[in-house]
């Protein structure tokens, strides 16, 4: 994107499209940068005085155009017990043991219930995962607190609040004696719908063909800043070099040829924009 912007700045001739390059923070854990970007044009910022006509979010898509992706709701669940010395565990109440049936219920929910809660032709079915578990102060102390973090991926169109409550209701029914406590969601996003970005995707695909690159319109299971922009009414797609298979690995990398092609596609997209 920086390469495309530099070329456009040096050789663009009026009338030319106005392009804003927004380097937003915290895409991994809350989309706060993209959310602040939306608020900036709503509040009449000098950086973006009005809502953009469209947006392209940079992520590793192997030069395909992502027109749909999943959303997410994440939250923490606690079980509480009573601390005691491990030599007399009967005097305490083990919070980790209390979490065990909650985890078993969530595993059943993930395998038996969630796949039947809907599907999307490009993104597949919803999913649920428990990503962390913590509890206890030391091995010789009966733990009085245990906490897990739950990740529920949503297909486009699912309501995060409804998905969150549906999971909690299932746990309550399955484990009525546990009294598990659920914090409010850490993050919620509805995902990217393919309902309003078809024209943008076709324009970008046409630009890709200018550099002799076939460019498919696809859906993916992960989330991006496109969720926040799309929710604000901006037609949005995701596009870039590299593969998500290399993301979050020890040595992230991408093909240099894809890097050059992606920059050329973006340059041509803006240059030919009308």
Q: How far apart are CA 143 and CA 138, in angstroms?
A: 8
Does pLDDT of 25 surpass 90?
no
Instruction: Give pTM, 2 decimals.
Output: 0.89
Over the stretch 93-112, which tens digit does the pLDDT of each residue have?
A: 999 999 999 999 999 999 99
Query: Each residue of 244-255: b (16+ CB within 10 Å) or e?
Result: eeeeeeeeeeee
Question: Cis peptide leading into 15, omega within 30 of 0?
Answer: yes
CATH numbers and ranges of domains, the chain:
2-69+192-271 (3.40.630.10), 71-189 (3.30.70.360)
Q: Is the pLDDT of residue 26 over 90?
A: no
Give me the half-sphere count of Cα atoms (radius 13 Å) on the Cβ side of residue 158. Answer: 32
Lowest mean pLDDT among 27-31, 35-39, 178-182, 227-231: 27-31
pLDDT in tens, 36-70: 888 888 887 777 888 999 999 999 999 999 999 99
% of the chain at pLDDT higher than 90: 77
134-173 pLDDT, tens digit each = 999 999 999 999 999 999 999 999 999 999 999 999 999 9
């Amino acid at each position: 994107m920086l390469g495309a912007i530099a070329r456009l700045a040096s050789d663009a001739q009026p009338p030319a499209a106005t392009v804003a390059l927004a380097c937003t923070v915290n895409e991994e854990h809350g989309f706060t940068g993209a959310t602040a970007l939306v608020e900036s044009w709503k509040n009449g910022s000098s950086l973006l005085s009005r809502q953009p006509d469209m947006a392209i979010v940079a992520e590793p898509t192997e030069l395909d155009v992502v027109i749909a992706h999943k959303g997410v709701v994440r939250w923490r669940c606690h079980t509480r017990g009573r601390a005691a010395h491990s030599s007399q565990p009967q005097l305490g109440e083990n919070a980790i043991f209390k979490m065990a049936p909650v985890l078993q219920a969530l595993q059943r929910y993930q395998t038996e219930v969630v796949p039947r809660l809907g599907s999307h032709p490009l993104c597949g079915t919803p999913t649920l995962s428990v990503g962390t578990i913590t509890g206890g102060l030391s091995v010789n102390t009966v733990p009085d607190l245990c906490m897990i973090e739950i990740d529920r991926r949503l297909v486009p169109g699912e309501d995060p609040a409804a998905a969150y409550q549906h999971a909690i209701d299932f746990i309550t029914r399955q484990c009525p004696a546990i009294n598990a406590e659920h914090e409010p969601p850490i993050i919620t996003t509805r995902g990217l719908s393919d309902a309003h970005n078809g024209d943008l995707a076709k324009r970008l695909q046409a630009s890709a063909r200018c550099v002799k690159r076939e460019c498919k319109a696809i859906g993916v299971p992960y989330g991006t800043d496109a969720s926040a922009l799309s929710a604000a009414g901006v037609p949005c797609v995701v596009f870039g070099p590299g593969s998500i298979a290399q993301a979050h690995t020890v040595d992230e990398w991408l093909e240099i040829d894809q890097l050059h092609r992606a920059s050329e596609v973006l340059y041509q997209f803006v240059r030919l924009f009308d």
